[in-house]
Amino acid sequence: MTTGTTNAAAAGTWRLGDRTVNRIGFGAMRLTASADGSPSDRDRAVGVLRRAVELGVNHIDTAAFYFSARRSANELINRALSPYPEDLVIVTKVGPGRDPSGEWLPMARPDQLRGQVEENLRQLGRDHLDVVNLRVYGPEPLAEHFGALAELRDAGLIRHLGVSAVQPHQVAEARAIAPVVCVQNSWGLGYRLSNDALIRDCAAHGTAFVPFFSLATSGREAGATGVEHDEVRAVARERGVTPAQVRLAWTLYQGPNVLAIPGTGNPDHLTQNVAAGALRLTPADLTRLAAVHRGKGGAPS
Helix (H) or strand (E) holding 159: strand 158-164
Q: Are 25 and 261 in contact (CB under 8 A)?
A: yes
CA distance 271 to 269: 5
SS3 (DSSP) at 40: coil
Classify residue 195 as exposed, middle or buried by CB count within 10 Å of its CB (0-12, 13-18, 19+): buried
Q: Which residues are annotated as catalytic?
A: 66
Residues linked to residue 27 through DSSP beta bridges, in sequence order = 61
CA distance 39 to 66: 12
Contacts of 204 (CB under 8 A, 6+ apart): none
CA distance 93 to 134: 6
Number of helices and strands (H, E) in the chain? 10, 11
Q: How many CA atoms lie within 13 A of 158 on its CB side?
A: 33
- Our CA angle for 267, 257, 262, nearest 5°, is 20
SS3 (DSSP) at 191: strand
Question: Residue 101 gets which letter from DSSP?
Answer: T
CA distance 237 to 207: 34
Q: How many CA atoms lie within 13 A of 7 on its CB side?
A: 8
User: What is the DSSP code string of 268-301?
Assistant: HHHHHHHHGGG----HHHHHHHHHHHTT-S--B-
